[in-house]
Amino acid sequence: MVTTIQSVERAARILLFVADNGGVQAAEIAARFDLTTPTAHHLLTTLVQEGLLRKDSARRYELGNASERISEGVARQLRPPAELRHALSELARRTGESCYLTAWRGDRIRVIAVVEGDHAVRVSGLVVGYSEDIHARVGARVMLTHADTDLRDWVLSGYDYTPLTPNTPRNRFELDVELERIAATGIAHDREELRPGVCSISAPVWLDGRVRAALSLTAPAERFRSNEDAYITALLDCAAL
């Protein structure tokens, strides 16, 4: 059994609650976490003294400067290395389309960087930090293809294969067929499987002998079909760093 410290648990939950709800009064926090008023005030005063919270003019608690430092630290962790950022920017420049980097962050497969091209169409929801729909996102499929088998099985255990379009893989068997295809060809294809009218391709980016990220391109289906060969050439060139 993991040993935890109750006061630290409470402080962490209060910080998350304030982050989710903005300015919050002490009475709200006491009620939300079933605390006595003195206990709530002691916790809040400590968090204010450490700079994690601050009080506004209406005596409502909001995140403090130290919390901003934590946010900046998380952003630095998510920020990809310079080589990956260059590959992403170059692909967007060469194709004019929206391009993405996807990578493992903990046990989630997240979008870690986005660059929009000159005539790009951006897919709704695909923002930095996004980690859903791994059965339909080409970048996530690339990362699953090159993941350790145990990790892949754990992530997909009990996974909900929500049909986002008529073309979306609907079960583990259909996804595994696609992962095998990616392993054989080195490229993942999304033919209107994530969003209707949108196609994507993705390829792994190798650094230091392992796949560090997936580089992806998204385009309207009609434009994609007209330029698919050129897009694939540009993708593979840029992914090769």
Which amino acid makes up residue 84? Answer: L
Which amino acid makes up residue 111? Answer: V
Q: What is the per-residue pLDDT for 68? A: 83
d(CA 90, CA 235): 9
CATH number 3.40.47.10 is the correct assignment for the domain at 79-239: no
Write the pLDDT tens digit of every residue in 34-72.
999 999 999 999 999 999 999 998 889 999 999 888 887
pLDDT at 4 over 70: yes
Structure-token pair, residue 40: 């709530």
Write the pLDDT tens digit of every residue in 176-232.
999 999 999 999 999 999 999 999 999 999 998 999 999 999 999 999 999 999 999
Tell me the pLDDT band of 1, cut-offs 50, 70 and 90: low
The label of the residue with tokens 């434009």 reads 223
Q: What is the per-residue pLDDT for 186? A: 97
Question: What residues have CB less than 8 Å from 57, skipping those under 6 apart?
Answer: none
d(CA 45, CA 74): 25
d(CA 34, CA 146): 46
Q: What is the per-residue pLDDT for 2? A: 62
Write the pLDDT tens digit of every residue in 104-151.
998 999 999 999 888 767 777 789 889 999 999 999 999 999 999 999
Tell me the pLDDT band of 10, cut-offs 50, 70 and 90: very high
Q: Where are the domains of the chain?
A: 6-73, 79-239
d(CA 41, CA 107): 36
CATH number 1.10.10.10 is the correct assignment for the domain at 6-73: yes
